[in-house]
């Protein structure tokens, strides 16, 4: 005789899926795509494939539309907050574009977000590259004896971080005195 109940909860109605989405939104601030993916995985894994995928997707889309109309899931706000956070961390404009597009932000909203960053900040890539150099202790933060020896390596580090060649050269050629002035603007 089995006295244990299954710990798996099934999500069959729209209200149960909405409750699951609200619990997720309570902890995280996802994009619509992230929320849709989470709900799809959670509902199908818990039901263990008993429901049709198309029916589950229809229910999830209906729930996401309800949450969007209530303002609980907002891709505009998501892209603005994430882009500001990424810029503080030292992400390049290219890396911000790539990351937000992977999160399901559409191209028109992505263009608006990037334009807003460019309008609000003076040369965001340049200052982000300085932040990367400071964090990685490369370029102007290296001892003077090692700068020439690691110049190509430092350009590679900045290139992989999404910065252009011109920006990388410009940042790596900064002198110590100029660097102290620029750090105050960070």
Number of domains in the chain: 3
Least confidently predicted of 21-25, 115-119, 141-145: 141-145
The pLDDT score that the predictor gives to residue 94 is 94
Q: Are residues 63 and 80 in the same domain?
A: no
Using 50, 70 and 90 to split pLDDT, how confident is the model at 7? low
Q: Are residues 135 and 106 in the same domain?
A: no
3 domain residue, yes or no = no
Q: Are residues 131 and 172 in the same domain?
A: yes
Q: How far is CA 52 from the centre of its chain?
A: 32
Is it the case that residue 26 has pLDDT exceeding 80?
yes
Q: Are residues 145 and 108 in the same domain?
A: no
Q: What are the phi and psi torsion angles at 4 (to 5°)?
A: -95, 135
Q: Two tokens at 105?
A: 């932000």
Q: Are residues 173 and 141 in the same domain?
A: yes
Q: Are residues 173 and 128 in the same domain?
A: yes
The pLDDT score that the predictor gives to residue 4 is 54
57 domain residue, yes or no = yes
Is it the case that residue 30 has pLDDT exceeding 90?
yes
Q: Are residues 141 and 161 in the same domain?
A: yes
The pLDDT score that the predictor gives to residue 50 is 56
Q: Report pLDDT digits (tens) over 92-114.
A: 999 999 999 999 999 999 999 99
168 domain residue, yes or no = yes
pTM: 0.81
- Cα 175 from Cα 166, distance rounded (Å): 17
Is residue 92 packed enough to be buried (19+ CB in 10 Å), middle (13-18) or exposed (0-12)? buried
The pLDDT score that the predictor gives to residue 48 is 53
2 domain residue, yes or no = no
| DSSP code string of 1-20 | ---PPP-PPP--SHHHHHHH
1 domain residue, yes or no = no
The pLDDT score that the predictor gives to residue 145 is 86
155 domain residue, yes or no = yes
Q: Are residues 111 and 128 in the same domain?
A: no
Half-sphere CA count of 146, side-chain side, radius 13 A: 10
Domain range for residue 27?
A: 14-70
Q: Are residues 40 and 80 in the same domain?
A: no
- Tell the residue number behind the tokens 């990424």, with chain if given: 86
């Amino acid at each position: 005789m089995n006295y244990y109940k299954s710990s798996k909860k099934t999500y069959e109605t729209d209200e149960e899926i909405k409750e699951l989405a609200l619990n997720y939104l309570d902890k995280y601030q996802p994009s619509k795509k992230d929320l849709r993916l989470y709900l799809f995985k959670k509902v199908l894994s818990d039901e263990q494939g008993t429901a049709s995928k198309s029916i589950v997707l229809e229910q999830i889309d209906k729930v996401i539309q309800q949450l969007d109309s209530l303002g609980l899931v907002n891709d505009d706000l998501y892209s603005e907050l994430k882009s500001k956070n990424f810029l503080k961390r030292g992400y390049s404009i290219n890396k911000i574009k790539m990351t937000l597009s992977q999160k399901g932000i559409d191209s028109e909203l992505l263009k608006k977000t990037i334009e807003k960053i460019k309008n609000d900040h003076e040369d965001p890539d340049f200052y982000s590259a300085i932040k990367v150099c400071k964090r990685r202790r490369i370029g102007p933060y290296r001892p003077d004896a090692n700068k020439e020896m690691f110049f190509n390596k430092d350009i590679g580090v900045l290139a992989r971080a999404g910065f252009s060649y011109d920006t990388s050269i410009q940042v790596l050629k900064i002198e110590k005195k100029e660097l102290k002035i620029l750090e105050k603007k960070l």
